[in-house]
Amino acid sequence: MNIRLAAGTTLTSVEGKDVLFSVRTGESYGLNETAAQMVRLSLESGVAQAATQMAAEYGVSAEDIRGDIEQLVQELVQLRMVESPAGHGA
């Protein structure tokens, strides 16, 4: 599954914290270090590749990490911070 930031949304660092910010709604969503890594890697190379990279880094199963990433992505999609382009399934 590929994701991208929703139109008008930025991923930035504010006072050392990673934050998704929507200029359309004025809403923000703070990310801890691990969640920020999940989002950044997923934006760069897709959820599956992000899970593989993080699993190798943390010494856990890619399947477990992928589940965590997909859960985070679902939450961010519901908040309209990220979107999954049409035609890209899980």
Tell me if 36 is assigned to some domain: yes
Tell me if 89 is assigned to some domain: no
9 neighbors 81 (Cβ within 8 angstroms): yes
- pLDDT recorded at residue 14: 85
Count of the separate structural domains present in the chain = 1
Pick from 44, 13, 41, 57: which is nearest to 72 by CA? 41
Tell me if 20 is assigned to some domain: yes
Tell me if 39 is assigned to some domain: yes
Residue tagged 């993080």 (tokens): 54
**Above 90 in pLDDT, residue 75?**
yes
Domain ranges, residue 51: 4-81
In this prediction, residue 38 has a pLDDT band, given cuts at 50, 70 and 90, of very high
CATH number, position 32: 1.10.10
Tell me if 45 is assigned to some domain: yes
Average pLDDT over residues 43-56: 97
